[in-house]
Amino acid sequence: RWEYRYLYPLLGREADIADSVLLLSSPADFPQEGKVPLARFPATREALDEFAVVMLGDVDHDDAALLRGLEKRQLTALAEWVHSGGGLVIQAGDRHGLARWKATPLGKVLPVEPAVDTAEEH
């Protein structure tokens, strides 16, 4: 995705940013990028405190194989973390719109009210 191809080099060249990247669409043995690469999404709310911002791209929260362990409990921890001040960016895409997150624990921390799930229309 062009957003990743743009943001990753931009963040990576900042010396005071310890970026972590977890490409969920890659094979499980893919070497992840970043100064502090991740093998899995943080399992607890406390583990998320190591981060300032979490960015979710065009991902399907229902696809367990794709998310490699991003379970409802982790989405709940992420929602709690955002509610307590953590930054969240959700990049909706052609395949998975913002409305698909509405029924998840993240639905309570979305800054907008998604009206239509355009992914269902395709």
C-alpha–C-alpha distance, residues 84 and 93, integer Å = 27
Contacts of residue 106, defined as CB under 8 A and 6 or more positions apart, other chains included, come to 61, 75, 78, 79, 82, 88, 90
Q: What pLDDT is recorded for position 120?
A: 52
Q: What pLDDT is recorded for position 84?
A: 94
68-84 pLDDT per residue, tens: 556 778 889 999 999 99
Q: What pLDDT is recorded for position 122?
A: 46
Q: What pLDDT is recorded for position 66?
A: 46
> What is the chain's pLDDT, residue by residue, as a tens digit (122 residues)?
677 778 778 877 888 888 887 877 777 787 887 788 787 888 889 999 988 888 887 776 665 544 555 677 888 999 999 999 998 888 777 767 777 778 888 888 988 887 765 555 44
- Give the count of beta carbons closer than 10 Å to the beta carbon of residue 56: 19
